[in-house]
Amino acid sequence: MAGDDHDAPDEQRQRAALLEAARAVNDLGINQGKSGNLSVRLDGGFLITPSAVPYSGMEARDLVRVHDDGTFAATEGRVPSSEWRLHRDLYRHRPEAGAIVHAHAMFATTLSCLGRDIPAFHYMIAVAGGNDIRCAPYATFGTQELSDNALGALAGRRACLHGHHGMTVFAGTVEDALALAVEVETLAAMYWRALQVGVPRALDAEEMAIVLQKFERYGKPPDGPSPPARDRAEQDQSSSSGSAPEPG
């Protein structure tokens, strides 16, 4: 089929990056066994992890290329993950998505089984793109309904939970998507632990708007000219006195 040149340099790089991420998910504690799936966008489609193959024994040739229309050419007898519809639809509707991680992380899945959104109990919720991480309604795995529910929960967000299932995140690269998945699971663990004591107070919308704006500028040079040398020296002195970098 046209476009299935697995020897193309870009696809080789993408296969290597996806394989490395797939082998890392269990070690990072955001997945167990053969569950979950990862993908990266390609021209005309995407690469996705295969169904029912342990990550520890997975090879680059096991990754399956799926076309925009959902068709695929089985390689090495492998078929795409049952959640390929979710990945296809996210790439269709979210042009900024370059990679997707879907995982059954312990604490995120625990909250999803309770049907709980994760509110802005901590400012780092903004890493998912908004003032909460929504939990999509339950749907059978591998179905169009699951994908549709996730797209709704991901409106204006880069991460969501799936009711009685797990979580999905996306980012520009597979490395960033993996890092976001770890962050979401960390937040889920914090929130679950806080709930054992009580219901934590959520930051209000005004504060979260400030945090989201700061996140947009994080790691980027400031607009306009650099501050005078004296101001820079005062900033350096302030930093050396124990002020923490943002966002922390």
Give residue-wise pLDDT tens across range 97-147.
Answer: 999 999 999 999 999 999 999 999 999 999 999 999 999 999 999 999 999
Which one of the listed residues 20, 83, 175, 207 is annotated catalytic? 83
Report the mean per-residue pLDDT for the chain. Answer: 89
pLDDT for residue 77 = 81
Q: Does 185 qualify as catalytic in the annotation?
A: no
pLDDT for residue 9 = 75
Q: What is the percent of the chain with per-residue pLDDT over 70, rounded to a whole number?
A: 87
Chain segment 80-89, per-residue pLDDT in tens: 999 999 999 9
* pLDDT at residue 218 is higher than 90: no
pLDDT for residue 228 = 53
Which has more pLDDT, 158 or 221? 158
Closest CA to 157 of 117, 183, 130, 187: 130
pLDDT class of 8 with cuts at 50, 70, 90: confident
pLDDT for residue 137 = 98
pLDDT for residue 179 = 97
Domain limits of the chain?
A: 9-195
Instruction: Give the residue-averaged pLDDT of 22-48.
Output: 94
Query: How much is the pTM?
Result: 0.85
Closest CA to 132 of 151, 115, 116: 116
- The residue type at 38: L
Q: Domain 9-195: give its CATH architecture.
A: 3-Layer(aba) Sandwich (3.40)
The 3 state secondary structure assigned to the chain is CCCCCCCCHHHHHHHHHHHHHHHHCCCCCCCCCCCCEEEEEECCEEEECECCCCHHHCCHHHCEEEECCCCECCECCECECCCHHHHHHHHHHCCCCCEEEEECCHHHHHHHHCCCCECCCCHHHHHHCCCCECEECCCCCCCHHHHHHHHHHCCCCCEEEECCCEEEEEECCHHHHHHHHHHHHHHHHHHHHHHCCCCCCCCCHHHHHHHHHHHHHCCCCCCCCCCCHHHHHHHHHHHHCCCCCCCC
Instruction: Give the residue-averaged pLDDT of 175-203.
Output: 98
pLDDT for residue 116 = 98
pLDDT for residue 244 = 37
* pLDDT at residue 210 is higher than 50: yes
Chain segment 219-236, per-residue pLDDT in tens: 778 765 555 544 444 444
